[in-house]
Amino acid sequence: MSRTPLAVLVGTVLALAAVQPAPARAQDVVKVGLVMPLTGVLGPVGKQAVAGARLYMAQHGDMIAGRKIELIVRDDASVPDNAKRIAQELIVNDKAEILGGGLTPSVLALAPLVTESKTATVVMISGTSIVTERSPYFVRTSWTHAQQASVLADWAAKNGSKRATIIASDWAPGREAAGVFSASFTAAGGSVVEALKVPLANPDFAPFLQRARDGNPDTLFIFVPTSQAGILAKQFVERGLDKSGIKLIGPGDLADDEDLPGMSDAMIGTITAGFYSAAHPSDLNRDYVAAFRKANANVRPNFISVSAYDGMHLIYAALKATGGKTNGDALIEAMKGMAWESPRGPMSIDPMTRDVIHDIYIRKVEKVGGELYAVEHETFKAVKDPSKIANK
């Protein structure tokens, strides 16, 4: 029996190895960890974010600058301590080199950790202005409450509103939005009759609406969680405030695209200021909405989904700019000043504050094709966070 020479066998093995695709080496994989609320009351918020991030990867692939992108999703259940523990596990155990942050309390809990580890972190949900000031490794692709509230205050003052009453949930986002609206509305020549704080959990809006009516305002500025907007609008109509001539206005959260289809017609006519609507009239957005609905059981994408979608775009673009390097300082430097066209419209990252700059739209809730939508009527171009401008 003849034997094949060892040199021939070795040569054959090497030749086969050269044509067989090798598995991605650890150093060729970039792990992106998303720390999001996926359960509990705010579970729908995190699910929209994750769906937006996954849609971006489905459309653009999982390779960038020669490196494979691996998305690791973890549920913090809206608990800041959970978020901090999970982020530490992602960085230390899973070797995640980039993070995506969710709700304000959770993101704030991550600040010391990502600063110490120099981990580039894209804020995909939080709208609280101070967040990006808490770590030089935070960059935001969501929005700020101050952007929406300031634009709405200016618009209201220029469109006949002279006396406004504020009803806002008693938590950090509500207090921030109410404060900015009050300052901007007053500066524009209006006056605030009263600012009413509503309990965040299980509120009964009826007594607050009655008190607001007694103050005889011409405008009612509302800031409540999206899940409560439909209830408030219904009570607004039931108490006859819609027929009293009082205008109902609020930030974009008030007309959330995921919830609007299930709200009553009491929402029709509500004016909001927001950065994204599923009804945004661009080909890019129409394609985005169609792709999102197809991938998510016909659920309509909302402003949270597009914030995470843009977050993944920023990560991909930064990795391309650094040639795949994941050094936190290099990634953050690459992200500063980046600009692109989003389903929301044109947007960029402020190189000074690492905050999002985007258009804010004045929208009116209308019925389109049998469904409620926030239809855009006016555009405020390239809005920066006014609180950051004031601080400068």
Question: Quick one: pLDDT at residue 359?
Answer: 98
Question: Quick one: pLDDT at residue 145?
Answer: 95
User: CA-CA-CA-CA torsion for 114, 119, 125, 128, nearest 10 degrees?
Assistant: 50
Q: What predicted TM-score, i.e. pTM, was given to this entire model?
A: 0.91
Q: Residue 211: CB partners within 8 Å, gap ≥ 6?
A: 194, 196
Topology (CATH level 3) of domain 26-143+282-354: Rossmann fold (3.40.50)
Question: Quick one: pLDDT at residue 41?
Answer: 78
Answer whether 275's CB lies under 8 Å from 147's CB: yes
Q: What are the tokens at 215?
A: 């103050």
Question: Quick one: pLDDT at residue 201?
Answer: 81
Q: What are the tokens at 235?
A: 């009570």
- Bridge partners (DSSP) listed for residue 348: 339, 357
Q: Which is nearest to 138 in space by CA: 98, 105, 176, 177?
A: 98
Question: Quick one: pLDDT at residue 173?
Answer: 86
Q: How far is CA 170 from its chain centroid?
A: 21
CATH number of 146-274+360-391: 3.40.50.2300
Domain layout of the chain by residue ranges: 26-143+282-354, 146-274+360-391
Q: How far apart are CA 387 and CA 183, in angstroms?
A: 11
Domains 26-143+282-354 and 146-274+360-391 share a fold: yes
Question: Quick one: pLDDT at residue 238?
Answer: 87
Question: Quick one: pLDDT at residue 13?
Answer: 33
Write out the chain's pLDDT in tens, 392 residues: 434 443 433 343 334 334 444 444 556 999 999 999 999 878 999 999 999 999 999 999 999 999 999 999 999 999 999 999 999 999 999 999 999 999 999 999 999 999 999 999 999 999 999 999 999 999 999 999 999 999 999 999 999 999 999 999 998 889 999 999 999 999 999 999 999 999 988 788 999 999 999 999 999 999 988 778 888 888 988 888 888 889 999 999 899 999 899 888 888 999 999 999 999 999 999 999 999 999 999 999 999 999 999 999 999 999 999 999 999 999 999 999 999 999 999 999 999 999 999 999 999 999 999 999 999 999 999 999 998 876 65
CA distances from 24 to 34, 65, 86, 247 (A): 22, 14, 25, 58
Q: Residue 357: CB partners within 8 Å, gap ≥ 6?
A: 347, 348, 349, 350, 382, 383, 384
Angle, vertex CA 391, rays to CA 390 and CA 392, nearest 5: 90
